[in-house]
Structure 1
Amino acid sequence: MAEYEGLDPLLAALTDAELPEGARDDVVFMAEHRAAAADVDVLREQLVVIGDALADSGRPDGTARGDRRSGAPGRYRRARAPRPSGAGRPGGAPKKRSRHPGALVAATLVAAAMASLVVGIGWLAGQQGGADTAKAQGASDAKADSGSAGKLSAPGYIACSRLLVEGTVTKVAAVPGTTQDRITLDVYHYYKPAEGEKTVTFLMDQAVDPRLHRGDEVLVGIQQHDSTPDLWTTGEQRIARDRSWIVKALPESRSMRCAQ
């Protein structure tokens, strides 16, 4: 999980904290912060809906307090004094009180709210920290054709990569006489190597899924001795997830040698 001056993206989204100066220029940090903020907004909206439902459940007839007398607009019944317990019943036996259905609804909604909050926060934390034991999961979700990423640990995958970058697709051109496209990528973040050219090109089969298009934001991984990616991830949330395990695994990968 990316951090900026000790502030991690999830904590910043949960507390709505002001971002440090320069944080908005950190592509990795801001992408994770936007993903976390979107998830927190969903949780807040759910809690507002549940709160409104709880407020309405406290009104037995669905109206505001003050039961109006039929046929007398603007006038209210005078509240009766409470009767002693057991009055009017044989033996003074206390009457069993029946709960209004709204009470059951309210209790159910409270339980749902707590469950949603616990599960939601847990899910957010899992999205940010679940990369500790992940093994290049992005390759399978991106439908990598070679499948090599799934056979390696995250640090091992990076160690065996010759190119691992994020960028924007600026051109997709069919290669004459083949079933491949030549992809031109405007790179805005290098993972491996640490730096490189502003623009890179590579080949991709036209039968892959998802197929890249101009304007796509994509995270791309290409293994040593390969000319086509075995990892390509699109969509902000999926990219944020793959970015998380890559950032986590980078330090260990630097001390590894590719076993392939």
Structure 2
Amino acid sequence: MSTEHDGADALMTAITGEPLPPGAHEDAAFLAEHRAAEADLAVLREQLGLIGHALAEPPPAPEPAPALPVRPSPRPRRRAFSLALGGLAVAAAASVMAGMGWLMSGGGTGAADSSGLDAGSSAEKQSDAGGVAFGSARYLACSRLVAEGEATAVERLPGTTTLRITLSLTRVYLPEVPDEDAKGSKPDEEQVFVVDENVVPGIRAGDPVLVGVPRGVDQPDFWAVGERQIALERAMVTASLPEARELTCG
């Protein structure tokens, strides 16, 4: 069943593109369902675009008449093309209906993103440690770094599928530094991470990025690439921070 907030349905809000209702940014369950519905809709739109292009292709031009005095009637070929086009339309309808059925039943998707759901998003909806959802209070309580930044350099290590990504941090959620003069607790403005390219497909220098790094590890277990995906995750993080301050990691 779809989550509601002040009478607004998370799924229908994603489908219609309406703004989130007042106070929804503080409702973690509503935000999570809205985020999953957004991802499903993006995949369906991509499939519909591919189907539309296929249906819009003009029929193949007639082949030149062969030199032989007798040639087959063109009628069977036109009929074969019509049958093929009809079959494609049926397959298209089935694909769309199956996708909408999954969406309306409340099914969610993981992000990555997708070929770039949202221009290359590769966000994983759960961290590797214990299946805790990124942005939740439990995740934040056990994180050493949650921050946004810009990818200033993306380098492939020779002979591998590994990327060295340099981020220039622009907004740090964790660790929180209450005093601007505090020493030792503020993270370096430049962070360097090494990750397989399949984790962040299509990332390029200049892309906005949001990362989450658990305590006790060096590399992020969560990446979001692209402003649209980051905006959804940002809302979850900011809504969960007050509760996270009251928790201890354990």
Q: Please say which structure displays the higher CA radius of gyration.
A: 1
Q: Flag the structure with higher helix content.
A: 1
Give TM-score scaled by structure 2 length.
Answer: 0.48
